Structure 1
Amino acid sequence: MIPLVFDGVMARLHPAEPAKASGLGVVIVPPHGLEALAAAKSLRLLAEALAAHGHAALRFDLPGTGDSLGADTDPDRLDAWTDSIAGAARQLAVHAGVTGIVLVGLRLGALLAARAAPAVADLAGLVLLDPVMRGRSYGRELMITARAVAEGARLDPEATSTPAGLSIGGLLTSASTLDGLKSLDLAKLPPPPAPVLVLHRKGVLDAAALGKAWSDDSVTAEEAIGFEAIGLSPTVAVTPGAVIARCCTWVDALPRRDRTTAATAPPARLQGRDFIEEAVTFGPQNRLFGVACRPTAGDAGPMLLIVNAGRNPHIGWARGAVTLARRLAGEGIASFRMDVGGVGDGADRPGAADTLDQVLYHPDLVGDVSAALDWLEANGYPRIALMGACSGAHLALHSAATDARVQGLVLVNIQRFVWREGETVEQAIASSYAVASSYVSKLWDLKAWSKVLSGERSLVPLITEFARRLLARARGFVPSAETRAARALMARLDQRKVPVDLVYSDDDAGLEELARHFGARGRHLGRMRRVRFGTIPDTDHDLTPAAAREALFVRTLAAARSWRESAQDTGSKP
């Protein structure tokens, strides 16, 4: 994989297997918003599979999303997204030496790909994956999704709709974009001058009948399974292997094209008002991916290395890591957001299965962080701090404990200081109930009780988990092996004088883990003067509300400034 930029857009090029090169290049158009976050790994695996079949592939972030410049609030998003597809095709032709272009789009990306097809030179094919058929219906679907995601996070669903647009998992679809979507109808677009494959969910009759709507015998429509599993959650997404395989065989059957000399891609750099970013691959076989974000005015102090939270790609939930990095650059603080193996753009470890237990909390991931530390040190950053949330906080903690180059930590909503023997990641996720005190207000909530009485929700798992927590608290008088290990980790960092900022949502389940090992609100950590504890009110585990992400920025900035001041005082270390 080769990072690539064009017109303010961040892209990733997957060169074709040389011995199989077909002369065809595939532009993969992502969906938008939360669907793009959830599908990130699946689209990378699709690109890798196509490249292995001999078809160069290029993935990219739509303008104003992901690592690309801009924001969803910028004007004329639909036109900008459509134009970027033709731009991606031109870059693929130049840097992969292909003379035939296939567009593959997922969900809204499929509608955009069909809209862009007339402007793509040398179009060889069009693949529509679970396509959005009508923009108006899609807008209604987004409204339902926004409320469902908010309710699932125990946030106010009414707050998802504002004059600015719809917020789904903290990602905005602007009001102007929603208005523009209303006029889009896939079946009414001009039929593309190339063969078309439509893979759709069972029962989606208008997608199945697209060939009739376009009066085109070159349209092949087939039912496919697996789209539901990559809809909204990166952490529990399941790669639709059958969809990927069908895409590859369909492109294989297209006529081969001539090849031209491919131009070498320059460094993948983007510049904003306060930052310069460069995307790189690094580590063994260059299988890991990261984006260095440096202040335009120069920086002083430790580089902040941001690791993945769950299976969220390096851009972060609600694009939080991108926004945080660029705002920190405006304050003179450099950062590096990375994808570990098996997450986002990070290729899976050799031999590792695409499962939760191989990707989250796996001890081998410490080696991936170490590879990032090596790259940063080799590029002029010997002093490094780590930041992680949820499983990323666990990874950051264990990486810091074993690597003296780490000189500061920000741990957000850490769920496990030490992994529990015999526990699976799925079990850990299932037991992540909020702290017991947060349920007191629910005792008089008629809506909550109606869901229990109707059978929509069961109290049994909740009661079982709280019973386990009470038992763990009772055993706390005699520290368990896990508690002793957790305390040893923190003591090791304290001996090295590493500042540690523990940040929690105010009712996060991780507070129970903290209490289990260090007392309520970490009171036993008070003896370690470099440990700071704080909570963020009115938010969920992922810090979805903008106010919560603002609070995290303020805390991270304060921590980074303290590291820098300490380094200046000592001449080397905080």
Structure 2
Amino acid sequence: MVSDVRPGITGGAAPSAAPSSTSSSALSAATPVTFGGLFGWLHPAAGRRGVVLCGAHGFEQLAAHRPWRALAEGLAAAGCPTLRFDYPGEGDSGDASDAGEVRVETCVAAIGQAVRFLREATGVTEVVLVGLRLGANLAVLATQAEPVDRLVLLAPAATGRAYLREMRLRARTVGGVAEGPGPVQTQTQTQAQASNSLSVGGFRLGPAFLADLQNLDASAIVRPPAPQVLLLASETKALAARLTALGSEVEAGPFPGLAALIGDPIFAEIPDAAFARVTAFAAAGMTRTEPAVPLRLAPARLDGPGWTEAPVRFHPDLFGIRCSPRRREPDAPTVLFVSTGMTVHSGWGRQTTDLARSLAADGVPSLRFDLAGIGDSGDRPDARKPPFAPDGFEDIRRALDAVAETGSRVVLVGNCSGAYAAFQALCRDARVDGALLINLYCFDWDPGQDVDAVIRQVFGSTSTYAALLTRGATWRRLLSGQIRVGAIGATLARRGLATALRRLRRLVKPVSPGGSAARRVARLRRRGATIRLIYSAGDPGLAALRRHLGRSPGRADRRLGAPVTIVPDIDHNFSSAEAQALLGRHLREVLRAVQDAPRPDSVPAPRPLDPRAVARVVLGRA
């Protein structure tokens, strides 16, 4: 059963008198909210001091999403009603403008909106702002127009120029190849740099936003940002001195665990010591009320050109966003976007949100959701990481239950581990009519493999090194001794031996009870399902494709009933605007193929076989 989650706030009225609950479960249950075109989560509590979390920007917040949620939960448990939200143009919030151009002032204004919403929705009398990285710089600016009582700055950039230098370095390393140069820049990327724009992990910083950042300076404020400030960073002296001179009481210290917090969504870790210090600072001396001030919230909903979005919860702790078209195309399938790695449902570079809204404008509904253990869904019972979990397809089945009420056909979309879970669900559930599988790493996961070890392949795959060796710069590094050939050879040898042992184990005990990948694909085609595979050139998943569906040219195409698409000069996450447009075109082709296929219940039943003919076939005399 699916329920539209209760969020948003109705107009500007004060909270109404409504029944309240003092149970721990009621006080700790986060509620999706929408306000002023923004999407967020309100974590209720009984204190009169509230907290607004101002997250990092773009890729850094994508990595920090789940730890940031843990901080919100910890603050609420300490008694502080806490609001976390997505900036305009990020996550599940609306776009900044029709042109989609985000400005620093737009993000600062969003923080002011969040503060006013928190006051109005919860009745708090004091507000604490907590800003992470660029969010800390934005929070400082927001205090100049929206006074707050306390301010927490977590690793703010000294200046906007310093922040940009870091982001330009990250743009070259995020999604790159370890121990070797990153992917060759496409013409579009070169033009983007020439036009003074920047893409970090698929998140684009436009020319206007970059120009704003050039002039950003955390110390260039004229009034104290808050009476009390907590500053945690590797370098605090200069900023702490400036804030003290302005009249703030400043508590400063290091920020251990920052790199693990914002480094990569798959390996993000909660900086327990730093977050405990933040919680203690935010809640110190706070006044509590019992029971908690009741919330007056309307159902969360965002509207855009051709689309409407609402949050949903199902079974019972999975979370997603239902994106509905204003005018649905007749017989349009519903698209289920499956989580990739540990990436939240909005997608790498916010691509899933953008694609869902684009589809809705064309009349196609969708549900983007988090598998258990990812984003805003609950934890997995076994506490393991979700990528390549042997039961990950069960969450997709639960999502299928959630959209079954529409009666429409269903198409799955997933990348890498998400493509793996989608393939498993496609084979097991006849309600799935098609799938677009992007960089499918494997058809079956060998439980003997270590997920972290596979993801953390220090030296990349054999095909990666083969590609690197075609480049002159790589040869120069080899000759100069900068690349450790012996270590690479030993690593590849161990990997080859491990692969051979896994294949031997599969012969003795097959990983999948459904037979070989080729047999399952054949059954899917007989069922009428549409399957499309697309890879970035050199992706490690191509090895599994060739091993299971055919090494000879065209063999996999014939088995799938459609060509396998291999795209050059594209990163694993299809981050660029070009790559996203390409995925959109391929997905629409899958949707058309599914729409054109006859429904299983409309296919004429086969005529009964002549028993004599059956006997001839069994006896080999046909």
TM-score (norm 2): 0.82
1:377 aligns with 2:410: no
- Equivalence map 1:435-514=2 (5 Å): 439-440=465-466, 442-460=468-486, 462-463=488-489, 467=493, 468=495, 480=507, 481-482=510-511, 484-514=515-545
Aligned equivalents of 2:88, 2:348: Cα separation in 1: 18
Q: Please, which of 433, 441, 457 is the counterpart of residue 415 of structure 1? A: 441
Change (3 A) 1:435 1:328: farther
**Contact conserved, 1:432 with 1:509, CA < 8 A, in 2?**
no
Does the Cα contact within 8 Å between 1:104 and 1:126 map onto a contact in 2?
A: yes
- Which amino acid in 1 is paired with 2:442? R
Q: 1:496 to 1:433 in 2, by over 3 A?
A: farther
Give the C-alpha shift of residue 512 in structure 1: 0.6
For residue 303 of structure 2, what is the aligned residue in structure 1? 271
Deviation at 1:393, TM superposition (A): 0.7
| 1:170-193 residue CA offsets vs partner (Å, 9 max, x unmatched) | 211122222222332212322123
Alignment-derived partner of residue 359 in structure 2 = 328
Shift of residue 148 of structure 1? 3.2
Q: Match for residue 344 of structure 1?
A: 375
Distance change >3 Å, CA 556–CA 459, structure 1 → 2: farther
1:329-369 deviation digits (Å, cap 9, x = unpaired): 222211111111221222322462xxxx4222123433322
Q: Give the distance between the partners of 2:481 and 2:247, measured in 1 at CA.
A: 49
Output one character per residue of 1:551-574: Cα deviation in whole Å (capped at 9) or x when no partner: 11111110011112225696599x
**Residue 31 of structure 2 is aligned to residue 13 of structure 1:** no
Unpaired segments of 5 or more residues in structure 1?
none
Partner SS for 1:119: coil
C-alpha distance 415-93 of structure 1, shift in aligned 2 (>3 A): same
* 1:543 aligned residue (549, 574, 599): 574
Residue 293 of structure 1 pairs with residue 332 of structure 2:
no
- Change over 3 Å in CA distance of 1:194–1:10 after alignment to 2: same
Deviations 1:298-341 (A, max 9, x none): 24322110011111111111221112111212222111111112
Is the Cα–Cα contact under 8 Å of residues 210 and 221 in structure 1 kept in the other structure?
A: no
Q: Give the one of 60, 64, 72 matched to 1:35.
A: 60
The 1:280–1:240 alpha-carbon spacing in structure 2 relative to 1, beyond 3 Å, is same
Distance 1:205 1:213 in 2: 12
Cα distance in 2 for partners of 1:39, 1:456 equals: 33
Q: Confirm whether residue 388 of structure 1 aligns to residue 388 of structure 2.
A: no
Which of 112, 116, 136 is the matching residue for 2:161? 136
What is the rounded CA distance, in whole Å, between the counterparts of 1:305 and 1:521 in structure 2?
A: 32
In structure 2, relative to structure 1, the CA distance for the partners of 1:59 and 1:457 (3 Å cut) is farther
The equivalent residue for 2:344 is: 313
Query: Is residue 45 from structure 1 mapped to residue 76 from structure 2 by the alignment?
Result: no
Q: Judging changes above 3 Å, is the alpha-carbon distance between structure 1 residues 565 and 30 closer, same or farther for their aligned structure 2 residues?
A: same
Q: CA deviation at 1:111?
A: 0.8
Please report how far the alpha carbon of residue 85 of structure 1 lies from its aligned counterpart in structure 2 after TM superposition.
Answer: 0.7
The DSSP-based 3-state class of the residue aligned with 1:407 is strand
Q: 1:155 to 1:514 in 2, by over 3 A?
A: same
In structure 1, C-alpha distance between the alignment counterparts of 2:102 and 2:545, rounded to whole Å: 47
Q: Which structure 2 residue ranges, 5 or more long, are not aligned?
A: 1-29, 605-622
TM-score (norm 1): 0.88
Q: How much does 1:459 deviate? A: 3.6
What is the CA–CA distance in structure 1 between the aligned matches of 2:113 and 2:444, rounded to whole Å? 47
Question: How big is each residue's C-alpha offset from its partner over 1:60-96, in whole Å with a ceiling of 9 and x where there is no partner?
Answer: 1111222212159645611111111111122222333
Q: Which residue of 2 aligns with 1:165?
A: 197
Instruction: For 1:523-538, list aligned pairs within 5 A.
Output: 525-526=556-557, 528=559, 530=561, 532-538=563-569
Whether the aligned pair in 1 keeps the contact of 2:446 and 2:502 (CA below 8 Å) is no
Give 1:232-251 correspondences, 5 Å limit. 232-251=263-282
Give the CA RMSD over aligned residues.
3.1
Q: How does 1:40-439 map to 2 (within 5 A)?
A: 40-70=65-95, 74-75=100-101, 77-120=103-146, 123-149=148-174, 151-152=176-177, 153-156=182-185, 159=190, 161-189=193-221, 190-201=223-234, 203-207=235-239, 209=241, 211-216=243-248, 218-256=249-287, 261-284=293-316, 287-299=317-329, 300-350=331-381, 352=383, 357-378=384-405, 380-431=406-457, 439=465
Tell me whether 1:3 sits opposite 2:36 in the alignment: no
Are the equivalent residues in 1 in contact too, given 2:53–2:130 (CA < 8 A)?
yes
Q: Structure 2: which amino acid aligns with 1:280? A: V
- Which of 584, 588, 596 is matched with 1:557 structurally? 588
Q: Report which structure shows greater RCO (CA 8 Å, sep ≥6).
A: 2
AA aligned opposite 2:586: R
Maintained 8 Å contact 2:262/2:268 = yes
